[in-house]
Amino acid sequence: MAVPRLTATGLTNRQIGREQLLSVKTIENHLGHVCAKLGVLCRATLAAVLLETAGAAQRTSW
């Protein structure tokens, strides 16, 4: 799930593609599938969901 995490950090699709050695189109497709699964419509909401999920995971791990 590296692509959504990188998106949440504010990187563009092009920057993520360079870092992951993937095309911009592949990044777009991947994010489209992730957003559809999570029921979110934009990158900002995706970031919020990921942060919320990470926070919940940290709270339950102790």
pLDDT tens-place string over residues 4-46: 989 989 999 999 999 999 999 999 999 999 999 999 999 999 9
- Average pLDDT for 40-56: 86
CA–CA distance, 53 with 62 (Å, rounded to integer)? 15
Tell whether pTM > 0.75: yes
Confidence of residue 57 (pLDDT cuts 50, 70, 90): low
